């Protein structure tokens, strides 16, 4: 504990003697010195009741720091896509009605989708029946939950992805323009949505081409007409690129590419035909 100043001690003795009614010889006290002593005394008393300043390290440990580190939201795991049906649907060994039945999905049942065919018309699913663990179901009556396109295209051994046949059907002409008329038939289960045609005149070396998302043809000088798709097992007439001269007796080679998606994407197939008009 800190010592009181001597001057304060003398003052206290003097006050005590007065209180007891006794006279005492008290030295004359300088008023300024007494005032200074009182200030010093008050400062000493205040210091006793004021906590000492802590060292910097102690202050850091004594100060409670609230950390507001945010916990990341858990990322939702994508659910496995599933399929149910509004009409009982057979499950087969391949994506098509020509394949053997190995199971059935009844209304009210749900099963997991494992894969899909290239045309997104059949789904490769977990078989709920006794038999092979997986089989193919038509999507005709399907109700899909989740993202079915997250699963990969499942190949079918021995199955041809896309196919078509092309045949020359004559020469079209109008006002000095000439072109080949070609018949194409879709031999696959998918739908063709885009086309590229390259026609080469082997006699002159002239090459003409076009591509687009429509299968167009023209009968003489009539208006062009066409369709945006060639469905499975369907056929269409297309007109080849236009030449500024007759193609009679010229050796022609025409490359035709059909694709299952617009802008020549998806599954594509190319056929080359040669002929002499």
Q: Is residue 7 part of a domain?
A: no
pLDDT at 25: 46
Same domain, 173 and 267: yes
CATH number at residue 94: 2.30.30.40
My answer on whether 141 and 211 are in the same domain is no
89 and 169 inside one domain: no
Whether 139 is covered by a domain: the verdict is: yes
Give me the residues paired with residue 254 across strands. Answer: 199, 273
Q: How far apart are CA 196 and CA 211, in angstroms?
A: 4
Domain that holds residue 112: 82-150
Kindly state the percentage of the chain with pLDDT values over 90: 51
Q: Is 175 inside a domain boundary?
A: yes
- What are the tokens at 102? 């190995």
Instruction: Assess contact for 255 and 241: CB atoms under 8 A.
Output: no
Single out the residue in 117, 150, 183 at which a domain terminates.
150
Question: How many C-beta atoms surround the C-beta of residue 157 within 10 A?
Answer: 5
Q: Report if residue 61 sits inside a domain.
A: no
Residue 270 lies in a domain: yes
Distances (CA, A) of 185 to 74, 107, 192, 255: 52, 37, 10, 15
Per residue in 145-154, pLDDT (tens digit) is 999 888 888 8
Quick: pLDDT tens for 79-96.
Answer: 789 999 999 999 999 888
Q: Are 168 and 263 in a shared domain?
A: yes
Average pLDDT over residues 207-232: 93
Question: Which has the closest alpha carbon to 236: 217, 252, 258, 249?
Answer: 217
Of 65-69, 224-228, 267-271, highest mean pLDDT:
224-228
Q: Is the predicted pLDDT of residue 59 greater than 70, yes or no?
A: no
**Does residue 165 contact residue 184 with C-beta atoms inside 8 Å?**
yes
Domain boundary among the residues 90, 117, 150 is at 150
Q: Which of 150, 179, 206 is the last residue of a domain?
A: 150
CA angle centred on 244, ends 240 and 248, rounded to 5°: 70
The CATH number of the domain holding residue 180 is 2.60.40
Are 101 and 170 within one domain? Answer: no
Q: Where are the beta strands (DSSP E) in the chain?
A: 82-85, 89-92, 101-105, 111-116, 122-126, 134-138, 142-145, 164-174, 177-186, 194-201, 207-212, 215-217, 225-227, 235-239, 252-261, 265-275
pLDDT at residue number 12: 58
Residue 71 lies in a domain: no
Tens digit of each residue's pLDDT (9 = 90 or more) over 241-272:
999 999 999 999 999 999 888 998 878 889 99
- Report the number of distinct structural domains present in the chain: 2
Same-domain pairing of 175 and 270: yes
Residues 221 and 258 in one domain: yes
Residues 115 and 199: their CA atoms lie apart, in Å, by 39
Whether residue 179 is contained in a domain is answered as yes
Considering the domain architecture, whether residues 175 and 126 belong to the same structural domain is answered as no
Q: What is the mean pLDDT of residues 106-135?
A: 91
- Span 24-34, average pLDDT: 47
Compute the chain's Rg from CA coordinates. 49
DSSP state of 171: E
- 9 pLDDT band, cuts 50/70/90, is low
Are 136 and 181 found together in one domain?
no
Assess whether 141 and 221 both reside in one domain.
no
Residue 45 domain-assigned (yes or no): no
- The pLDDT score that the predictor gives to residue 63 is 42
For residue 233, the 8-state DSSP code is T
Same-domain check for residues 137 and 173? no
Same domain for 114 and 182, yes or no, is: no
């Amino acid at each position: 504990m800190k010592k009181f100043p001597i001057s304060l001690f003398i003052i206290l003795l003097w006050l005590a003697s007065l209180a007891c009614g006794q006279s005492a010889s008290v030295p004359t006290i300088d008023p300024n010195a007494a005032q200074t002593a009182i200030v010093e005394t008050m400062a000493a008393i205040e210091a006793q009741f004021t906590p000492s300043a802590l060292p910097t390290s102690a202050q850091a440990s004594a100060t409670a720091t609230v950390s507001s580190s945010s916990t990341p939201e858990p990322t939702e795991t994508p659910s496995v896509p599933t399929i149910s049906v509004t009409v009982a649907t057979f499950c087969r060994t391949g994506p098509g009605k020509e394949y053997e039945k190995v199971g059935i999905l009844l209304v009210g049942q749900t099963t997991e989708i494992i894969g899909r065919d290239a045309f997104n018309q059949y789904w490769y699913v977990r078989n709920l029946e006794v038999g092979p663990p997986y089989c193919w179901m038509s999507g005709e009556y399907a109700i899909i939950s989740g993202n079915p396109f997250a699963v990969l295209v499942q190949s079918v051994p021995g199955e041809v992805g896309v196919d078509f046949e092309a045949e020359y059907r004559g020469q079209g002409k109008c006002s000095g323009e000439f072109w080949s008329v070609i018949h194409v038939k879709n031999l696959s289960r998918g739908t063709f949505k885009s086309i590229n045609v390259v026609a080469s005149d082997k006699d002159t070396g002239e090459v003409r081409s076009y591509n687009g998302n429509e299968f167009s043809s023209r009968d003489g000088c009539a208006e062009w007409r066409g369709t945006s798709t060639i469905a499975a097992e369907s056929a269409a007439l297309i007109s080849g690129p236009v030449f500024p001269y007759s193609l009679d007796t010229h050796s022609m080679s025409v490359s035709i590419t059909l694709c299952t998606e617009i802008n020549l994407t998806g599954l594509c197939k190319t056929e080359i035909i040669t002929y002499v008009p």
